[in-house]
Structure formats: structure tokens, C-alpha cells
Amino acid sequence: MTGSVGPQTGPAGPAPAPPVRPVVRVAVGQIASTADRAANRRIAADAVRAAAAAYADLLVLPEYAAAFHPAGVGPGLAEPLDGPFVTTLREQAAQTGVAVIAGTAAPAAADRAANVVVAVDGHGDLVGTYRKVHLYDAFGTRESDRLEPGPADAPPLVVDVAGLRFGVLTCYDLRFPESARRLVDAGAQVLVVPSAWASGPLKVAHWTTLATARAIENTAAVVAVGQTGRGVVGRSLVVGPDGVLALEMDETPALRTVDLDPAELAAVRERNPSLANRRYRVVPA
């Protein structure tokens, strides 16, 4: 969605002015998580506070924001959803009023973990979780050796923030258009994609192209937030429902804001009624 892009927030830059309602301000928290979970909690807490200082309604953090290693995330980096990381997010959300969507890993059966995105509202309540359905068994990597996939028939995670509906998918899910369409069928106006997009030949081109395609074909904004650091590309971006980039970041850790206008999204869908013109429905396999 074409929106106003706020300046970088934090010590190096001023906070943007308060948004002119009824737009919804989204903070994109591009961070570099490591295996040091205590350090990651501090980074996440700082990001929530920076988002609040920027008058954001929602902060989106990447996949594996709780703990990440470029060689792979498994049970050794997992913690329960009532553990320290999600508790930190809930406490910070309750203190600031900023909703948070962020990636973590939780224990699962058979010595594996589950790749989980959590949604916390501005009151600090855990209002939803999504377990990654499509595991990254591609480009020489086998995420399924360490992770248990989420059930394909689980209800879509769509959460309301300030009157706008945000649907959640994760990283490799971006390559499967039916995942995004199922969220839109459930009412999503914005697709949120926390990611740790692996680096490699053509991977940045794939990331940008796929995020743009998901936006255009669904007439939905896409907020794709990437881990940055060793082995991943960063390059977080926000794409409007017309395919226009509203924000594109580099590989540097930073927090940026974008204002999403529900009226603008509705206008794009009126001009381009492709959702109404479709002839097929998406159902779990």
C-alpha cells in the first residue's frame, strides 16, 4: 500500500510525527538475532519501545527473532510460548500499547521444534499463533530435519490492529501463492511475512519478486520483514496492493515505519476486482 515512509528511528534519527488517522502505522523491525537469547530479548524490547516512540500501532519482527543461527534453528533454540521471549513481548506491548508480530521457535514432538509466529495485541495478550506450514527443504537445506511442520488445515491467523486485518505467513510460505490467498479469503487486507530469507544467487530477486506478486495478485499490502546478518539477506520491504514499493531496506539493522491507509486499499480493490473475478477457491491439501 502506498504510504508515508517514516525516517529511521532510534538514536541515529528523529521519530516521525504522529500519524494522521485513520491510517495504521506499521513499524518494520529489521534485526540481527543470534543464539544469545537474552541479547535478543533486549533487542526486541528496544524495538517495541522505538516503535512506540514512532507512534506505531504494530511492530513486525522477523522469523526467529527469539533466537537464530545461520546453520539452522532446532530444539536447542526453542522455548515455550510462555517463556522469556514471548513474555517480554507481552510486557512491552502492555506498557506501550504497540501490538507485535514476531517469529520464535517452540518445542515440538520427536526432538524437533516448531517454527511459530506469535501475535500480541496492544494490551499484551497473546491473541494468536501460526506454525509454519511449508518448511524450507530447498536450495540444499532441510528445515524438516529440525522442525515439525504446522498443520495445513489450521485456521488462518488473521488479527485486527487498529481496524486493519493482518494475515500471517512465514518466509518460505511466500513461494506458495495459495497460502497468501487463503489468508485473504479469511479477510486479510495486509499480508505479514516474518522471514529469515537465506542468502544466495538470485535470492534477493526472488524475495522482492515474490512479495510483489503476492501483493498484486491479492490486492493486499505485503509487509515482509527479514532477519539481517550472516547467511540471510535482510532487505525488508513493504509493497502496496498495486505492486508499488512503499519501503525497501538494505542489510543494516534498523526500524522504519510505513502508514497503511485502509481507504487506499479499498480503492485499489475497486479498480482491480480480481478477487471478485476469480473462479477457483483454495482449500488445504
Cis peptide before 22 (omega within 30 of 0): yes
Q: Give the containing element (helix H, strand E) for 27.
A: strand 24-30
Q: Spot the catalytic one: 79, 148, 171, 264.
A: 171
Give yes or no: 63 in active site: yes
Note whether 98 and 58 are within 8 A (CB): yes
Q: Spot the catalytic one: 63, 79, 148, 264.
A: 63
What DSSP string runs through 81-134?
TTSHHHHHHHHHHHHH--EEEEEEEEE-STT-EEEEEEEE-TTS-EEEEEE-SS
Q: Spot the catalytic one: 132, 143, 148, 264.
A: 132
Give yes or no: 178 in active site: no
Degrees (nearest 5) of the Cα angle 161, 26, 103? 80
Note whether 132 and 115 are within 8 A (CB): yes
Burial class, 155, CB count within 10 angstroms (exposed 0-12 / middle 13-18 / buried 19+): exposed
Residues identified as active-site? 63, 132, 171
